[in-house]
Structure 1
Amino acid sequence: MTGRLSGAMMAALLASSAIPAVAETPDRERIAGTVEAQHDANVAALRDWIALPTIAAEKLNTPAGAEYMQQLALDAGFQQAKIIPTDGVPAVFATLDSGADTTLGLYFMYDVKQFDPAEWNSPPLEGRLVEREGEGLAMVGRGAVNQKGPETAFLAAIKAIQASGRKLPVNLVLVAEGEEEVASTHFDQVVAVPEVRDALAKSIGVFIPSAAQGEDGSATITLGAKGAVEFQLVVGGETSDKYPQTDIHSSNHARIENPAWRLVKALDTLVADDGHTPAIDGWFENVRPLTERQKMLIAQNAELNPEAQEKERLGVGRWIDDEPYVTSLERFYSQPTVNIQGLNAGYTGQGGKTVLPGRAEAKLEFRLVPAMTKDEAVSKLKAHLAKRGFDDVQVTVSGGYGPNETEEDSTLIRAQKALFEKDGVPYSIIPRNAGSWPGVIFNGPQLNLPASQFGLSRGGGAHAPNEWFLIESSDPAVNGFDEAVMAYVDYLYAVAEEAGRSD
């Protein structure tokens, strides 16, 4: 397949959208000059932010991460920025009133995933600039692409507009959490604060900065994201007296149950014999199938993102059941999953140790699709285990939320289409991101707001060693940092213009 949309595919997109072209960003050349002048400072700002990781799972740099995020907002021109306490890691709430007719909500996360320095080619907190073959100069560090690179680029965009002597075309309401990487355990508490809720309610929608540009320069518009629930299953001396309190000699397995085997038996009931189809009782009861429009969008996305390239990126040679590429993508975007992230029990070092473990734990996650909910998924899991007699399997939910979805004709999405069409950026639309972010907090009750992702920047390695964000691109079709900043500048003006058309 080709790496570009065919003429027919692009024509279908244009016909389906019927979006008027957006006007040129006012004083764009002047703003771009400001961005260029601020390049070194912006790159240094990203490096400095990478050097301070907030890791919710380890309670690392809390509340320091929130205080840092608060200062970043103030430095970017937000008139007020407050730390919002929660029962876990604090959040940040900030507002920037430019006197505009339109208010835009903005979601940030300031936390990052864990890392093992031994797995990295350069120190994960150094923010080293590394040449990537065929790509250009990239910054490597934990959080570089998820999400500090895109967020730094957005902050740089609003700084540049103001430094160029202009007011922002929209007012901004920012909410930034420090627990996204543990499935946003307490984020609902943040949005429930009356001051935060009332400010967001004035917005036309909420978006999260992202790095959504492909290696050929193409863009992806997402109309939602799967939900996520993170949880642990534990079996051992802490859950039943039929297991030892600590590891004991393995000869005792003749008379004492092994919690690791018990955990394996429980896990095996969660999926069918094929090893991937969820088998939790009632799991598919509320799963909404793809519409014909969504299937068409997925087929268009497949043309823009070649199968061979996708397999190489993932390091695989085939899809489940050797399915065709488009079928695998339909599964990717539409199927809820039950995934084992990791298993831990007994001795895992070199050689054997002849022990019977006193504890076995599995870390799992659900990915949820419309119209599933977090509460439904957790309730069905517990009922499923109880029905099969696994009362000695402890279920601990560490965080989670349901899926989110936004209409294709919302202002946020229409502005993206108009911008890409004006600039000649090839793009596809997908029904939802197969990954997750807590957009449901915004487009669910009580706010009922559109929630989307946007960003014309490039990076990779999220949650993995050697995470990177492109700073200087060797391909004119692909954005480096400064071009990514200007894409946010243009998007703010496109949103304001599109919102004006809707009034």
Structure 2
Amino acid sequence: MADNDIDRRTLLASVAATSAGLMLPASAQAAARKADLAAIRKAAEAAKDASVARLQDWIRHPGIAAEKWRIDESCDFTMGLLKDAGFQMVKKMPTDGSPGIFATLDAGAKRSVGVYFMYDVKQVNPAEWAHPPFEAHIIDKPGFGKCVTGRGAVNQKGPEATFLAALHAFHAAGRKLPVNLVLVAEGEEEIASPHFHQIVQNPEVTAALKKCDGIFIPSASQSLNGAVEIELGAKGPLEFQLISSGEHWGRGPKGDVHSSLHAMVDSPVWRLVQALNTLVGPDGHTPAIDGWFDNVRPLTAREKALIIEASTKHSEKELKEAVGIKTWINDEPWPVALQRLAGQPTVNIQGLVAGYMGPGGKTVLPGRAEAKLECRLVPNQTFKEAEAKLRAHLIKRGFGDIEVNVSGGYDPTETAEDSRLIRAEKAVYARMGADVAISPRSPGSWPGSVFTQPPVAIPAGQFGPGYGSGAHAPNEFFVIESTNAKVLGMVDSMVAYADMLYEMAVIS
């Protein structure tokens, strides 16, 4: 047995030995909780291979919302996973787009906890991958351990499969869940959840969620140094496409024409470039849309303090290497760059396409150009406000002919630091011995605002140890057996999920 295996076993044994003592008096309840976690861990170890195989099968049922590819198949497969994990009621929820899922597990408990799943994944270019992205290969990665690689491995099927494996372990160990579960899942998270509100606002779903003390999305939150991050919110996205065409503009060609005609014919491509240039300032990154910062709430003193503290627990060098950069904007120091990451809204060009890009030149004046963009919104911006200001900005500057096609988006998410959900996460991570960094919000997005805002209005966040990388990129992976003593593998993470459910059952 490797030394790191011993370290992780000791770590999780400590979790089981101390969890009840930290949160409950020394009593029969505390002893029962200790015994339960030990039994659940034993069951998780015995079913490890089955848990990994379950994750591999899920990756093989991808569901890409942006391409409307294998969505129904992926939804049905996910519903089967939920039934197998013990949910008594699993219902497909139709929307105007991809179907969602509503599931409940009644354990006869006094409290209920919500769980959010996504079953869709990002698009892929198989040529960029070392292994086929939907075959879910098991690989050994030096410095990480045994991993599953494939699209969706870490975002989010690896963590979600680990949570389901924890439910299987409860059953195999003969233990009853300490809380009831209400689960909602969607198949459009990767296109900014345009129809997810239709699921959550269904009266039956809303009523079930309102009974929950909080809701979380399973995540792989550890850094390579073992630290975990608790995020009190997330930015909200606005995803859209801008199209400039001679046909819609009424100027320039309806289709591609010979480039020599540019001397007397308007260019829809330059038209789009000029419109795009108005969306940010001369520095190339500060949003310049009229009124964009009117409702932006600056970071509070507490949020700034949390970011400064977190900057000491995350490796600046590691992140720079991961994203392939040498400097931050304006050569800002690490803590300042992190404050910008949490506090500044953005306007980003995802892609820009026009004309001919093959070998050699084609000497054409294109009749159409399009750009895909997304904005990241911060409190107190809203999705609807951002869309309205974007459209008004373009019209005011004479670009009313530019087509604006909004494909999805939602508001930023905020959850109180003193909510039961966040305090429970802190307690579980503390028993793990993990160094905890608290972030005001994730720079990325998930549709937590549909839970934190009325009519549901419950705390929402992300929880889960473990590690993975490559979300939205080639060679995505999720660690199932860690060779890094500071990072938990799949079995240890199952126990942490079990501990989280116990903690939500008893926390005051």
Match of 2:461 in 1: 452
Match of 1:335 in 2: 344
C-alpha distance in 1, partners of 2:377/2:239?
A: 11
C-alpha distance in 2, partners of 1:226/1:454?
A: 17
Q: 1:288 offset after TM fit, Å?
A: 0.4
Q: Which amino acid counterpart does residue 45 of structure 2 have in structure 1? A: E
Does residue 125 of structure 1 match 2:134? yes
2:430 pairs with 421, 424, 427, which one? 421
Q: Secondary structure at the match of 1:414?
A: helix
Q: Which moved more, 1:242-251 or 1:390-399?
A: 242-251
Match of 2:219 in 1: 210
Match of 2:363 in 1: 354
C-alpha distance in 2, partners of 1:75/1:358?
A: 53
Match of 2:385 in 1: 376
Does residue 248 of structure 1 match 2:266? no
Q: Which moved more, 1:373-382 or 1:129-138?
A: 129-138
C-alpha distance in 1, partners of 2:84/2:34?
A: 24
C-alpha distance in 2, partners of 1:68/1:243?
A: 49
Q: Matches of residues 40-439 of structure 1 in structure 2 within 5 Å?
A: 40-439=49-448
C-alpha distance in 2, partners of 1:44/1:357?
A: 49
Q: 1:422 offset after TM fit, Å?
A: 2.3
Match of 2:23 in 1: 22
C-alpha distance in 2, partners of 1:453/1:475?
A: 23
C-alpha distance in 1, partners of 2:453/2:65?
A: 25
Q: Which amino acid counterpart does residue 122 of structure 1 have in structure 2? A: H
Q: 1:262 offset after TM fit, Å?
A: 0.4
Cα shift readout 1:194-227 (whole Å, capped 9, x = no counterpart)? 1111111111111100010110111111101000
TM-score when scaled to structure 2? 0.93
C-alpha distance in 1, partners of 2:34/2:275?
A: 58
Q: 1:238 offset after TM fit, Å?
A: 4.3
C-alpha distance in 1, partners of 2:34/2:466?
A: 19
The alpha-carbon distance between structure 1 residues 273 and 62, as it changes in their structure 2 partners (threshold 3 A), is same
Q: Secondary structure at the match of 1:204?
A: strand
The answer to whether the 8 A contact 1:339-1:365 is kept is yes
C-alpha distance in 1, partners of 2:132/2:315?
A: 33
Q: Which amino acid counterpart does residue 488 of structure 2 have in structure 1? A: N
C-alpha distance in 2, partners of 1:209/1:401?
A: 20
Q: Secondary structure at the match of 1:433?
A: coil
C-alpha distance in 2, partners of 1:462/1:133?
A: 19
Long gaps (5+) in structure 2: 1-20, 25-32
Matched length? 481
The answer to whether the 8 A contact 1:25-1:490 is kept is no
Match of 1:11 in 2: none
Q: 1:423 offset after TM fit, Å?
A: 2.6
Q: Secondary structure at the match of 2:307?
A: helix
C-alpha distance in 1, partners of 2:252/2:98?
A: 34
Match of 1:35 in 2: 44
Q: 1:26 offset after TM fit, Å?
A: 4.1
TM-score when scaled to structure 1? 0.94
Identity of aligned residues (%): 56
The answer to whether the 8 A contact 1:183-1:398 is kept is yes
Q: Which amino acid counterpart does residue 393 of structure 1 have in structure 2? A: I
The answer to whether the 8 A contact 2:58-2:78 is kept is no
Q: 1:325 offset after TM fit, Å?
A: 0.8
C-alpha distance in 1, partners of 2:429/2:116?
A: 22
Cα shift readout 1:149-173 (whole Å, capped 9, x = no counterpart)? 0000000001111221111011000
Q: Which amino acid counterpart does residue 21 of structure 1 have in structure 2? A: L
Q: Which amino acid counterpart does residue 67 of structure 1 have in structure 2? A: D
C-alpha distance in 2, partners of 1:25/1:388?
A: 66
The answer to whether the 8 A contact 1:21-1:419 is kept is no
Cα shift readout 1:18-69 (whole Å, capped 9, x = no counterpart)? xx93355442221111101111111111111111111111000122121111
Q: Which amino acid counterpart does residue 33 of structure 1 have in structure 2? A: K
> RMSD in angstroms over aligned alpha carbons?
1.2
Q: Which amino acid counterpart does residue 306 of structure 1 have in structure 2? A: S
Q: 1:243 offset after TM fit, Å?
A: 3.0
The answer to whether the 8 A contact 1:21-1:421 is kept is no
The answer to whether the 8 A contact 1:145-1:211 is kept is yes
Q: Which amino acid counterpart does residue 90 of structure 1 have in structure 2? A: P
Q: Secondary structure at the match of 2:23?
A: coil
The answer to whether the 8 A contact 2:71-2:120 is kept is no
Match of 2:499 in 1: 490
Stretches of 4+ aligned residues off by more than 6 angstroms: none
C-alpha distance in 2, partners of 1:431/1:406?
A: 9
Q: Which amino acid counterpart does residue 226 of structure 2 have in structure 1? A: G
The answer to whether the 8 A contact 2:150-2:475 is kept is yes
Long gaps (5+) in structure 1: 1-19
1:478 pairs with 461, 472, 487, which one? 487
C-alpha distance in 2, partners of 1:26/1:269?
A: 62
